Structure 1
């Protein structure tokens, strides 16, 4: 049966992949985006599709729609973008959650919140299980994003308890792949673009801080499996790759795969930048029968190919 599905932030990196997958599965998709960080280029090929609808709208403002499911992805996700207008970032997470939850309540729709590993802050527990409550600054320059996402999780559970809304919460760990903005300040896009251009690769801190990187297709599979759970399972559930790499290891892989002569340069670590981030995914394995299957090297090759085409277009 064809479902009518709303994807907020649908023109963004993750949203565009999700819209494509949902259309390929035979659904009707409404892509809602204000294009602050999303790009029409990400979804241009979808516009002619008879079951795809594009709506320019900011989730900070209410909207009336009739839908069966909602994936709430709308929010700037890279530090340069969410720190550009921190008040709007918090409003997007909090008011956006309220406005989408109100639609879900009225329509009796299932709703999934794209939360983040940033709710764990700079973790004192490593690796991070869903039960860990985090080590998050409420006053730092990343708090607009971290605390906004934490408050959104609170709202989701309160709407479930108070109004019976059927909720799902995914905590997304570092994800990469085609349709990333090459200049959004994330580590994978930074390293690939610098390497392809033969520029020095910027390492913040000593480069020994670690991250876990998952390819976008693995994440989308996990999100859809979570949405389709029928036993009342809500999450939060970590969706990420538990294989951990230092920033230096990642930079060296990118240099090798791009056959670049780029050198590593070191800059001070930004405020509140976490030193470790690695998911425990036992809950996803148990409840969703999910784990990542795409190796970092294979995913990087696809991402490098995408960025290489973009850079050549720029001339």
Structure 2
């Protein structure tokens, strides 16, 4: 005997709604078609499953015994179908910001193979764990120093050098690079640094260690507004690069050295995720990661254990 899963699903709808008319509306069939499906299922099983009364429909003793097995059958069928759909759908990747190094990593991964990807931009750490756990995204890039939620795994992905942007009237404007110590006492205007964000935490450490004042005051009206104000100021700087900001002619990007601040990107995913392309992304990121250079790069102290140092080049 082979059970018709459509009939089993219809049986569950009738039990849950307690009426044939409501169940028919739920499964998108006529009441007559629902009755025929139930009759066929009862015939296949050789027992009556439902009793009808003025109060509605309820399972017989055999129907009640069959009910948990019916739910398990439909649950397994739905899981199997979802697994196959997941294998066909694009790999959903949270890049945190479209102008960040994470976007470059995803683009390189996409161009290196034949994996379809969907780009997601989230709010960062507050939503990342739940999105990875419930499958809203398959993988996520970001900075994390706190213990990860249960089931979330991570690997170091990239250390992104962070330059500064200044206006052409700024005293540093003619420099191609500037030592970090020369930024001490300057003010970096960064209104997009939300107080509890992972990037604001990074700049708190940078400010404390090197004496750069981080000013996050004022509403964030967009990157155009930031570049306009920086370009017009003889004093303000901001941390960022040409990928993140539109660079007008009167704005200059300058590399920071001795040490170069680098933003620590990790790749995170949930251990239960079975998307067939996820291992390919993890392998791609691992293969292209370059270790932390302790003499020439700077990381906040909490990040350093997560980004092991590699061999330093000879001086």
Category of TM-score, reference length = shorter chain: under 0.3
> Which TM-score applies when normalising by structure 2?
0.28
> Which TM-score applies when normalising by structure 1?
0.28
